[in-house]
Chains A and B, each alone.
Chain A
Amino acid sequence: MSHAKVRVLVAKPGLDSHDRGAKVVARAYRDAGLEVVYTGLHQTPEEIAEAAVQEDVDVAALSILSGAHLTLVPEVVNRLRAKGADDVLILVGGIIPDEDVPALKEAGAAGVFGPGANLDEIVEFTLANLRRRGA
């Protein structure tokens, strides 16, 4: 009998301190039965990638409201790759203008969620796009 649970790292890269969205999403995941590892504020890409490895998460959800997403997301992805953790599903949330979405997807983000994104949709998307384990 297997008791697999989907594990999600909810992380805030960069210096912006607006964690309302990250926390609401963390709760939505928990209420949907997922296990959320929350890193706290002001994480460097290296710290996030390392946490994703140690916690062996299926998903890394990055919340960025500072506008620095085009710098930070590719860095997180690169660090994850360097650690061999390229099967982690990367999601990005925050204030992301439409025209930046293709660049983020190009960089490796599977889903990008703007302000006011629907929580249920975020959870559904996450579960539908897992890259590992049939969890």
Chain B
Amino acid sequence: MSNNPEGNRRCGPGGRSAQGGSDPCRPPAARKAPATPGGGVHLEVPEHRPGGGERRERFITISDREIRGLYGPEEIRDLDPHRDLGVPGDYPYTRGVHPTMYRGRLWTMRQFAGFGTAEQSNARYKYLLSHGQTGLSVAFDFPTLLGYDSDHERSRGEVGRLGVAIDTLADMEVLFGGIPLDRVSTSMTINAPAAVIWAMYIAVAEKQGVPSEALTGTIQNDILKEYIAQKTFIFPPGPSMRLITDTFAYGSERVPKWNTISISGYHIREAGSTAAQELAFTLADGFEYVRAGIEAGLDVDAFAPRLSFFFNSHSDFFEEVAKFRAARRIWARGMRERFGAKNPRSWMLRFHTQTAGVSLTAQQPENNIVRTAYEALAAVLGGTQSLHTNSMDEALALPGEKAVKIALRTQQILAEETGVANTVDPLAGSYFVEYLTSQMEQEALAYFDRIEALGGVVPAIEKGFFQREIADAAYRYQRQVQSGELGVVGVNRYVEDEPSRVELLRISPEVERRQLDRLRDVKAKRDQGRVRAALEAVRSQARGTGNMMPVFLEAVKAYASLGEIIQVLREEFGEYREPAIF
């Protein structure tokens, strides 16, 4: 770092140091590491300031939270360990939802995968299962996520690209061919059309002879965060919420081991939110689903135990750990105090974590392995139930096989070698971590008040509140990276001239053609009368108030396509368009 003797000074005119190295005030392009022939690494050792000066004026997290140099008993004066922390496995679950945590069972290592045709994805699943992965995770392509068949005009060029293409039950049969659905748990990242895709999964299981009661897994099914951040919505909020409460009701009766929703902060964070926003908005969504379920006439303890969460683990280590711990406490308190849930399982916030895709850099992609490892560590120390670690090349394209394997190995090293799984919530009691945990909680509660003042989650969405908060945070972050206030290795620190090459997985245009062939084939062979009747049943059920799941099941079994079913719903429910927020 620079030799500036004053230590703290601002970046700006006159503030630049003439020294080389990693001066945060220098424009990124000028801050290349010296060329090192033979691929060697340039070493740089930070220097200590004489007289206890500090390297920077402000020390901040990537969420622009200012961090002080030292935390002590003063900062956690108000913390009551009994009330606020409890013991692991007990209310308010700050220290974990299970008394023994990873001593009892390790987290589930669940790598998100799926691309191209159902055959290709099926092969990838078998590869991962044979390498010790313990759960499946399905990614769908954009047409599927938006309810368009592969032969729709808007699907051109997108079929099978960022996930698997599912048009009809026939695709689903191939996707899970040879995989015993009573023995794997499957997580499906699908939202707007989640109920229909879930119906396909249940139908495939039935064909394998597996009753729906035996199925385990998760559908993401979280439409609120789609409006807020991820934007793969189809219908307006009202009918979307109805589809979700229908899955709650159906699940609690017929698929009791299934997580009918995964309330997701991951995408909110990827869209550029701060850690506190991710926490607050996700839990606000969660409470909104609970309210909707109760309003739809369900008993809170009948469906709340099946709600699960999905968070991002980003690069600021302590802030992430604090976020996970705070999430559990807020949820437990809200469910017990606000919604009067009696079943302790309704109070427990269980969550899946994925390391931050946005933290990966296209430059020097091997560095992403290291980033992902730290992020994974934060998730484990935060008590996650399952984890996806990103592959190093995900910033560039779909992960190649070797990169996927390293990502999985990263988790295995964490579990087998580092010792972090030996004891429960080892960071508890740290002045800093406890302070930050309480701070996060306070910030989330303050956001809840603001959302309430706007009339609740849906009105706040329609007013663009979340979107504006996130857009502001994303823009500020980008500017902080650009000014050098925040360092990103390979991007504005230690920049190298030549970006390293990585192995990329390419989807051939063949995929689209083959998928279209199969769709045409299925449509030609099916019983058209049965399809028409099933689609009409979908329409009339949509006009009424009954549960949609049974009519979806009949429609998919008749090989009606996803696009056909969703089109009926588009006609009945209308389409959502976002407010213009920047």
Contacts and interface: CB of A to CB of B under 8 A. Distances in A.
Chains A and B come from one and the same complex = yes
A57 interface: no
Contacts of B157: 14, 66, 68, 70-72
Q: How large is the interface on A (under 10, 10 to 19, 20 to 34, 35 or more residues)?
A: 20 to 34
- Looking at chain A's contact residues, the main secondary structure is loop
A121 to B, nearest CB: 8
Contact of A15 (B148, B361, B578, B582): B148
Given A14-B157, A41-B578, A20 B142 contact: no
A71 B158 CA distance: 9
Interface stretch (A1-9, A21-29, A80-88, A126-134): A21-29
Contacts of B499: 98
A95 B272 contact: no
A50 interface: no
Contacts of A38: 580, 582
Contact of B231 (A17, A26, A67): A17
B363 to A, nearest CB: 7
Given A20-B270, A27-B582, A42 B146 contact: yes
Interface stretch (B70-78, B211-219, B335-343, B474-482): B474-482
Contacts of A17: 142, 145, 230-232
A95 B158 contact: no
A115 B482 contact: no
A28 B156 CA distance: 31
Nearest to B512: A71
B504 interface: yes
Contacts of B471: 23-24, 27
Interface in B348-378: 358, 361-363
A119 interface: yes
Contact of B271 (A20, A98, A114): A20
Interface in A48-76: 66-68, 70-72
B565 interface: no
Contact of A68 (B161, B363, B475, B478): B161
B582 A16 contact: no
Given A24-B478, A67-B507, A120-B482, A95 B395 contact: yes
Interface in B1-57: 28-29
Interface in A11-48: 14-20, 23-24, 26-28, 30, 38, 40-42, 44
Given A95-B397, A116-B361, A119-B478, A44 B580 contact: no
Contacts of A68: 156-158, 161
B274 to A, nearest CB: 14
B491 interface: yes
B143 interface: yes
Contact of A116 (B154, B362, B474, B479): B362
Interface in B112-130: none
B445 interface: no
B231 A41 contact: yes
A70 B397 CA distance: 14
B362 A26 contact: no
Interface in B144-158: 145-146, 148, 153-158
Nearest to B231: A17
A95 to B, nearest CB: 6
B537 interface: no
Contacts of A24: 272, 471, 474-475, 478
A42 B388 CA distance: 28
A14 B155 CA distance: 8
B162 interface: yes
Given A20-B270, A38-B582, A67 B398 contact: yes
A115 B362 contact: yes
B396 interface: yes
Contacts of A71: 156-157
B543 interface: no
B482 A119 contact: yes
Contacts of B479: 119
B577 interface: yes
Contact of B362 (A16, A19, A72, A114): A114
Most buried by A among B143, B504, B580: B504
Nearest to A25: B478
27 contacts: A14-B142, A15-B148, A16-B158, A17-B145, A17-B230, A17-B231, A17-B232, A18-B231, A18-B271, A20-B270, A20-B271, A20-B272, A20-B474, A23-B582, A24-B471, A24-B478, A27-B475, A38-B580, A40-B580, A44-B153, A66-B157, A66-B158, A67-B162, A67-B398, A67-B507, A68-B157, A120-B482
Given A15-B146, A116-B491, 11 more contacts: A15-B148, A15-B155, A23-B582, A28-B478, A42-B154, A66-B162, A68-B156, A95-B395, A116-B362, A118-B482, A119-B482
Interface of B: 28-29, 142-143, 145-146, 148, 153-158, 161-162, 230-232, 270-272, 358, 361-363, 395-398, 471, 474-475, 478-479, 482, 488, 491, 499, 504, 507, 577-578, 580, 582
Please provide the 3 A-B residue pairs with the shortest distance between their CB atoms, ordered closest to farther: A71-B157, A15-B142, A17-B231
Interface of A: 14-20, 23-24, 26-28, 30, 38, 40-42, 44, 66-68, 70-72, 95, 97-98, 114-116, 118-120
